[in-house]
């Protein structure tokens, strides 16, 4: 799982990582958040609250949580055979997944500074209010994230962060192979 505050670069890194690794499968979440201008159609399954709640009631999510007024949820993953699953989710969701899958690996991604974080959110089209809200929530996301994360990556440079994440994925896979044999 990749967790961290808004503007840390989770979405960009999750997409880069999965595009480079054919055996890493990125789950597509559902959300009630409206699509941002310019955001890819397939960034999420965008639904209204009624549809989301119906799926949640029928047990269709591994985890779901409310984040700043919108619902986000992970459908039960259906990765291709032989693939590992990558979730890009918030702290509450990561805690739920860990309660179910104790050996899941959590990586906390943090921005190098508040200025960079703010800039990234403005660039992707968040309003000033949204940026403020997300910045205010950051401390909780980082402190809570540190408590459950196996690795912390400071995202100064996208290229270096991808390399760091690739190394974490490989180390996790080899740790698992060792456990299995």
**Binding to ligand 5GP by residue 95, rule CB under 6 A?**
no
Structure tokens at 179: 């456990």
H/E/C letters for each residue in 48-117? CHHHHHHHHHCCCEEEEEEECCEEEEEECCCCCCCCEEECECCHHHHHHHHHHCCCCCCEEEECCCHHHH
Beta strand 70-75 with 61-67 is antiparallel
**12, 92, 151, 168: which one binds ligand 5GP (CB under 6 A):** 92
Residue sitting closest to ligand 5GP (CB): 93
**Binding to ligand 5GP by residue 89, rule CB under 6 A?**
yes
**Binding to ligand 5GP by residue 93, rule CB under 6 A?**
yes
Sign of the four-CA dihedral 73, 76, 80, 83: positive
Name which of 42 and 180 has its Cβ closer to ligand 5GP: 42
Report 40-69 residues binding ligand 5GP (CB under 6 A). 63, 65, 67
Place of tokens 């159609």: 41
Part in contact with ligand 5GP (CB under 6 A); list of ranges 90-98, 100-108, 150-158, 165-173 = 90-98
| Residues forming the site for ligand 5GP (CB under 6 A) | 6, 10, 29, 33, 63, 65, 67, 72-74, 88-90, 92-93
């Amino acid at each position: 799982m990749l967790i961290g505050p808004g503007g840390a670069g989770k979405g960009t890194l999750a997409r880069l990582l999965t595009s480079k690794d054919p055996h890493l499968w990125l789950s597509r979440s559902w959300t009630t958040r409206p699509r941002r201008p310019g955001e890819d159609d397939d960034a999420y399954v965008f639904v209204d609250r009624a549809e989301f709640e119906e799926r949640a009631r029928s047990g269709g999510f591994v985890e779901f949580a409310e984040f700043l007024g919108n619902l986000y949820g992970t459908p039960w993953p259906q990765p291709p055979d032989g693939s590992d699953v990558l979730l890009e989710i918030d702290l509450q969701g990561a805690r739920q997944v860990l309660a179910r899958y104790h050996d899941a690996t959590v990586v906390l991604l943090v921005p190098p500074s508040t200025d960079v974080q703010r800039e990234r959110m403005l660039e992707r089209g968040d309003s000033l209010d949204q940026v403020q809200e997300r910045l205010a929530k950051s401390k909780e996301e980082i402190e809570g994230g540190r408590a459950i994360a196996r690795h912390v990556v400071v995202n100064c440079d996208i290229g270096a962060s991808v390399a760091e994440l690739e190394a974490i994925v490989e180390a996790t896979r080899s740790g698992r192979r060792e456990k299995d044999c």
